[in-house]
Structure 1
Amino acid sequence: MKYFSMVFAAALLSSTFALADSPVTPAEAEKIKAALENLGCTGGKMEKETEGSGYFEVDDAKCKDGQYDIKLDKDFKMIAMTRD
């Protein structure tokens, strides 16, 4: 019984941390594209974090000096930009 409880707890914890990001709306995509252009970047996979933070992520954006992962706040201002 103890083993079953530990397996159940592990499964429950792993499922709560595996929340998927959601797609952005067309209006959000336009604002993200504008923010990327201001940074000198284009493209990438756009997602909205589902943890309730309202942050946006752009994976593999192509910028002048390389490829980056970019995180934007709910007002589409850059929070983080890490080289991919």
Structure 2
Amino acid sequence: MLKYLAAGALALVIASPALADDDRVTPRQRASTLTALKRIGCTAPRSIERDDGGFEVDDARCRGGRYDIKLNRNFKVVSREKQDRDDD
């Protein structure tokens, strides 16, 4: 019984790093996201993460201020929310 418990714990430890990287974007996804932002006049996001099958961009610098932007998996903008602060 102890062998099975140890094997299960080992499998969980081995799988944990792979599960933790689910929010990271690949270099290709990052480039596609930056291209999509450029098309709408935005640059310099603080971060880009995978989110609900798409991508979440935090604090992109756009005309008129900073925005949080969500893109779908095809890099189309699905929402833009202006941030209250503008620390340019």
TM-score between the two structures when normalised by the length of structure 2: 0.66
Instruction: Indicate the SS of the match to 2:24.
Output: coil
Instruction: Indicate the SS of the match to 1:75.
Output: coil
List aligned pairs for 1:1-84, cutoff 5 A.
22-44=23-45, 45-49=47-51, 53-84=52-83
CA distance in 1, matches of 2:59, 2:22: 16
**CA apart distance, 1:20:** 8.9
CA distance in 1, matches of 2:40, 2:22: 23
Which has more radius of gyration? 2
Q: CA 1:42–1:21 in 2, change beyond 3 Å: closer, same or farther?
A: farther
CA distance in 2, matches of 1:69, 1:81: 6
What are the Cα deviations for residues 25-82 of structure 1, in whole angstroms up to 9, with x where unaligned? 0000000000000010001110001xxx311000000001100000000000000000
5+ residue gaps, structure 1, are 1-18
Q: What is the identity, as a one-letter code, of the residue corresponding to 1:81? A: R
Q: Tell me which protein shows more helix as a share of its residues.
A: 2
State the identity as a percent.
Answer: 41
5+ residue gaps, structure 2, are 1-19, 84-88
TM-score between the two structures when normalised by the length of structure 1: 0.69
* Superposition RMSD in Å: 1.8
